[in-house]
Structure 1
Amino acid sequence: MAGGLVGVLSFGEMSDRLGRRPTFFLCVLIITLFGSLSSLAPAIGWYNAGRFIVSTGVAGCQATTVSLLMEIMPPQYRMMMNVGFGIGYTIPLLLLPLLAYNIRHWGYLQLATGLSALLMVPFWFFLQESPRWLLTKGRIERAEQSMVRILRINRRPVPDMDQTMNSLVLLTKSDSKRGMAFHFVDFFRTPKMRRNTLILFSVWFMGSFVYYNLVFTSTTVPGNPYLNYAISSAGEIPAALLGLWVARKWSRRHSQALFLLLAALAMTPLPFLPEGSPSWLEIGSNVLVRFLVLSAGFIKWIMAPEIFPTSARSFGFACVLTCSRCGAMVAPFLRDLAEVTHLVVQFVFPALFLLISAGLTLLLPETLNKPLPDTFHEAETLDRKKIPKTLVPLTEYKLTSSSV
């Protein structure tokens, strides 16, 4: 978790300064190299050091990929890509118990997980740099090359790029702040950006705290720990699909707040289950709460990058991921606190955090079908933008200056 905290900050800022694509593949190299070397660690200290470095790469991949997906997709399809990203995270969670059950030697298990990052290497030949990021940096010619390459890979007609790029150049020059260097304090200079940033930090901290508390609890339920973990993780796929369906039809913030409220209500009876209750009842309750938390979580992953401006999107998302990592680091201690106080503590704090998160989410600006903000000024006025809530079929989508 500490490695993830360092990774989201360092690689998030690197992505905003050097580009999404090179940062992503640097992280892939780090995961593969140090993930494999960790299997040869002669002592626990060396193993932990290797895992720390791997965690930085994993967190960097997350922050960079989410920003890239947000910036290359039109508004009505952003949620599909990000929910797909979430499902891609869940499938390995389901495979991990099976892998761990059949590979009992820790070294071979570590080698297998480290080499799995090689599956991302072929994307080097297809993944293009974000045209939106290139435009904010004034690299107009490179942005044109990237857009043409994306259109050809997807077998789309290439429009008159001279006319399109001229429009984009005018849009770029019209805002003097576009592509300028930013600092962390820029997130707090203006009232609404400051409010949104603090809310996102708080919601992501509490959401991660609750999620990992549920993950740790799933392995303590009586029964086969491998099976319990797999069953608990299986609920994440339907949660992602539900999050996709809801995010396409209803308000981001209202649907997220509703899922958080339902999760808090579902968690309320858990501490009152009688001692010796069937294991299926405990694991079923865990799956239900985790399902609701993840449904809100997938909407949260869509919404957060839509609030930060392009010039600082990766770093802003890295900051909320940092808060998420902090919540994950604190979560294991809740079980220790419950052991020395009362079992109810393990459920009261998560339920309270879910209720607070639901209320705070309602204070965020609505981002459904709105264009991504490119500058801090646009991010500050995000809640003022009004555009028709229509879903444009992919077959009718045309590249225009407003699409980038």
Structure 2
Amino acid sequence: MAGSAIEQANTGSPSESMAASPVETQLALGDLARANAGGRLWVIAASVPLLFMISGLVIRYAAFHSVSAVPGFEAYARALCRWDCAWYVDISEHGYERFPIPGQSNVGRWGFFPLYPMLVTTLRFAFPFSTILIATITSTACSYAACLVAWPLLEKNVRAYILYCAFLLSGPFSFHFTTFLTEPLFVLLTSCVFLALKRSNYLAAGVTCALLSATRLVGVLAVFAMVNQMFEQHRQQGGSAVSFPRWVLGRPDMLVAIFISPAGLFAYMLFLYLTVGDGFAFLHVQRAFGRVAGDPLLFLWDGLAAVPTKGWLPTAPQWSALAAIIGLILSVVLAARRRYGAALFCASSIILPLITNLASMVRYVIGLAPLLMLIAELLSVSKLTYLVILALFLSASYFMTLAWIGGYLALV
């Protein structure tokens, strides 16, 4: 009897043994609270771009309606299809020609990379709508997805995230991200590359970089950000710069990621070689568009020196030169914040097209996701600044859309 009493005292009753301690209860409640908080944050992350997607559509449609006698969403989509958009529509509907287009100064479609037109073509087979309608919806969806990918990249900074979403979907250049241009897909894939690198998932980064290189030529430059991330990881583990190549050779995932990164570009070059006979046709055709290699500094100087003959507003070359300079300055800021991979990618993505001329430079700069995220972070530090900039984004969208529809050259 005494032994059984002692045993019962040591083991306790079944209900007592199953009861959780106060510390365990608090830990469980803390985990539950964090899970609920994380769920609420993701609801916010999904709702914010949706709100700006709707508001941006309303603002841009109001601008379109004020200058157009033809109502309807398809008419709106066609009105916003300006400049390079028409080339992408032609590629999606007719593909690439084998010879220069007759009567157009030896111009061909080869300078426009194929991934996004291929995506729109695929969707057009699935849905019975016009090309521009499908492309507009797809671009908007890509921009929405780019916002979601930016949420972890912005370290869940709500103010910065709101500004970023507002800029893409309701901002002064939101028409670039909601019509048939490569910017929506380019920003989405760029964000995916840097998110994969942030998580050290090099295979995912390599595959996404391959897609990026099939979207725009400068997409292949993301491989430098990937190699930089590998080097930083090697240094954090105590490795030296000398031992870095040998370390990479011992990591098959890194080697595969590096070698598949330009796969999209190489596939397009092979296609051009087989159909046109020139794997570098995307470069050689640039002369027909007035792009000839030269001194980037001279192009910048000529752009800044193109002062307006009347009025005080800067000319289109001045806007383009200022965009390039601001983009390069922001790349330096990225480097100062020790984001060397993003800085290298953005700077090289500005300098490469700058070697030819300043055309489309505004669009190229605002299509660099790391720069947009940096701007959102810088402008969200102060609550007052954040509110003022948000109001400016929304109000400027109307007038910039009018300028885009009207063919303002700086926005090309």
Range of TM-score over shorter length: under 0.3
Q: Flag the structure with more relative contact order, 1 or 2, with Cα contacts below 8 A and sequence separation at least 6.
A: 1
Calculate the TM-score normalised by the size of structure 1.
0.25
Highest Rg: 1 or 2? 2
Calculate the TM-score normalised by the size of structure 2.
0.25
